[in-house]
């Protein structure tokens, strides 16, 4: 304990510290200028991100309630980077917002929850982490105070996440009842596949599927994404999803390793439904936030495909894909945030002729969509390729064929947006948008990420080294 405790929990400590600094700034009320506050917050978030690169150490605390290793530290750094990019992108939106500090307090508490969840080695901490990362998010979905749709999004989010938590808690209680322990390491050997434990797996998996918005638990996603402010939508679709996938990889899949037959069948059905239905609904959308919501559902299907292989390569490809997905999705959301905050338009039909007036932004959006669709040479191509290759290792070609067919369908709707940007004629295209410096910086980071991650060959190897340990 003592100093070891500070080092092992450094990222959690960092987030909590920033949380309290913001709380005191709110009470002090000394800085009236939102712009200065935002820059200050971004610097703090940057420092917190950098914290992931120093003093890395493996270990356990609180009798195994909290465990950390280099892979978990890296996962947390990825989430930190994503949060920083979102914060940079939200500059224009938050500059005039009355509750700027509260926005970040809630954001950071959800981030803390995700960190606890990733580091949890115990069902109790894991459950608390999930709650901490979803309840404040519902309040954040309501941050467009004067829009009724935003409130609707918040209500739908809180109800669906309460339902998911209830399912998961029911499953956890069965696990505890049959094994008498909450500790993951002790549980693994005690989960032998009695009917009650299989039922528990089903319940816990359903809770996860809710949070991941995998079909058939996806119904809340589109409404919440559409109603929430763009900054919150991007946070929901990228950061909270990534955190859940990380936990699935590091805790859930190993926990039920004795039931891997069941686990694979569950994933098999979920993957097919998720990829196919996500795609079919994405084709029909005109609102770009709804469009990205359904496209993200289908992306989750691909991530699950990588997870289903159950190997270190599968885990690595899922993590790699998530990093790429963070960059590409945030690139798209950054442009949408700018469009929405300056013109209030959020439809694909408004993007017609976008290239004539905003060539640079048009390219950024197009490259992001290319990466989401998996077109080379963007990193999205490599991400999808690794995922499908890892999924194919099981030799289930039905699954792979369906996934591959769906990749073709997804190209159609991503390219439909690109066509609207570059080729469609429009008499009254969107006027030239002027993004703030921090937004442009965020988009630059995203573009470097989208192109660079694909070519930095050592990155995949690096994750593999960490995951294989």
Partner 1 sequence: MNASTMVFYILSAVILGGALLSVTAKKIFRAAVFLLFSLIGIAGLYFYLNYEFIAAVQIVVYVGGIVVLIIFSIFLTHESGRDMKEPSMISNLFAVFACCFAAALTYLFIKEEHFNATPNPTLEPSARNIGTQMLDITRYGYILPFEAVSILLLAAMIGCIVIAIKLKPKE
- Under 8 Å between Cβ of 208 and 252: yes
CB of 2 to partner 1, least distance (A): 11
The contact mask relative to partner 1 for 150-169 (x = CB under 8 A, - = no) is ----x---------------
Tell the residue number behind the tokens 């997870």, with chain if given: 307
The nearer residue to partner 1, 140 or 390, going by C-beta atoms, is 140
Binder among 43, 53, 58, 62 for partner 1 (CB under 8 A): 62
Q: Please, which of residues 170-199 interact with partner 1 by CB under 8 A?
A: 177-181, 186, 190, 194-196, 199
Binder among 11, 87, 89, 110 for partner 1 (CB under 8 A): 110
Find, among 2, 37, 4, 5, the residue nearest to 21 by Cα: 37
Binder among 45, 94, 114, 138 for partner 1 (CB under 8 A): 138
Cis status, amide bond into 316, omega within 30 of 0: no
- 66 binds partner 1 per the rule CB under 8 A: yes
Cis status, amide bond into 377, omega within 30 of 0: yes
CB of 66 to partner 1, least distance (A): 6
- 139 binds partner 1 per the rule CB under 8 A: yes
Distance CA 434, CA 440 (A): 10
- Please give the C-alpha separations between residue 450 and each of 140, 329, 360, 378, in angstroms, as whole numbers: 28, 10, 16, 6
Which range binds partner 1 by CB under 8 A, 79-87, 142-150, 213-221, 303-311? 142-150
Helical H segments across 142-220, by residue range = 148-179, 184-190, 195-212
CB of 409 to partner 1, least distance (A): 35
- Give the number of other Cβ atoms within 10 Å of residue 157's Cβ: 27
- Under 8 Å between Cβ of 240 and 200: no
Cβ density class 336-346: b for 16+ within 10 Å, e for less: bbbbbbeeeeb
- 17 binds partner 1 per the rule CB under 8 A: no
CB of 65 to partner 1, least distance (A): 5
The nearer residue to partner 1, 183 or 287, going by C-beta atoms, is 183
Distance CA 373, CA 386 (A): 14
CB of 238 to partner 1, least distance (A): 20
The binding site for partner 1 (CB under 8 A) comprises 1, 16, 19, 61-63, 65-66, 98-99, 102, 105-106, 109-110, 112-113, 116, 124-125, 128-129, 131-132, 135-136, 138-140, 142-143, 145, 154, 177-181, 186, 190, 194-196, 199
């Amino acid at each position: 304990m003592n100093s070891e405790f500070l080092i092992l929990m450094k990222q959690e400590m960092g987030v909590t510290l920033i949380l309290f600094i913001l709380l005191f700034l709110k009470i002090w009320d000394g800085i009236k200028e939102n712009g200065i506050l935002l820059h200050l917050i971004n610097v703090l978030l940057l420092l917190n991100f950098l914290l992931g690169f120093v003093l890395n150490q493996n270990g356990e605390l609180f009798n195994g309630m909290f465990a950390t290793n280099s892979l978990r530290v890296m996962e947390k750094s990825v989430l930190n980077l994503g949060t920083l990019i979102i914060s940079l992108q939200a500059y224009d939106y938050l500059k005039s917002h009355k509750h700027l500090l509260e926005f970040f307090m809630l954001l950071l508490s959800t981030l803390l929850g995700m960190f606890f969840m990733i580091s949890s080695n115990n069902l109790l901490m894991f459950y608390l982490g999930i709650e901490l990362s979803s309840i404040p998010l519902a309040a954040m979905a309501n941050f467009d105070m004067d829009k009724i749709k935003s409130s609707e999004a918040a209500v739908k989010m809180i109800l669906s996440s309460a339902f998911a938590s209830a399912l998961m808690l029911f499953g956890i209680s069965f696990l505890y009842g049959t094994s008498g322990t909450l500790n993951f390491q002790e549980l693994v050997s005690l989960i032998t596949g009695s009917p009650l434990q299989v039922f528990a797996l089903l319940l816990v998996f359903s809770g996860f599927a809710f949070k991941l918005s995998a079909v058939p638990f996806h119904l809340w996603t589109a409404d919440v994404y559409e109603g929430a402010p763009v900054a919150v939508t991007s946070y929901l679709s990228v950061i909270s999803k990534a955190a859940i996938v990380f936990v699935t990889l590091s805790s859930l899949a190993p926990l039920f390793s004795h039931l891997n037959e069941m686990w694979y069948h569950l994933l098999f059905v979920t993957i097919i439904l998720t990829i196919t239905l996500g795609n079919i609904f994405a084709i029909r959308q005109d609102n770009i936030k709804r469009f990205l919501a359904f496209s993200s559902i289908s992306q989750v299907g691909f991530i699950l495909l990588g997870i289903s292989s159950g190997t270190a390569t599968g885990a690595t490809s899922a993590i790699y894909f998530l990093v790429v997905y963070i960059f590409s999705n945030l690139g798209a959301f950054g442009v949408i945030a700018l469009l929405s905050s300056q013109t209030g338009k959020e439809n694909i039909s408004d993007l017609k002729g976008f290239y004539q007036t905003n060539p640079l932004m048009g390219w950024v959006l197009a490259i992001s969509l290319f990466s989401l669709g998996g077109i080379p040479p963007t990193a999205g191509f490599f991400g999808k390729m690794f995922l499908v290759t890892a999924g194919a290792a099981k030799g289930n070609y039905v699954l792979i064929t369906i996934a591959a067919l769906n990749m073709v369908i997804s190209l159609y709707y991503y390219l439909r947006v690109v066509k609207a940007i570059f080729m469609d004629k429009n008499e009254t295209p969107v006027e030239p948008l002027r993004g703030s410096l921090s937004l442009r910086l965020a988009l630059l980071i995203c573009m470097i990420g989208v192109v660079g991650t694909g070519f930095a060959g050592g990155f995949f190897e690096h994750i593999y080294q960490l995951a294989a340990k």
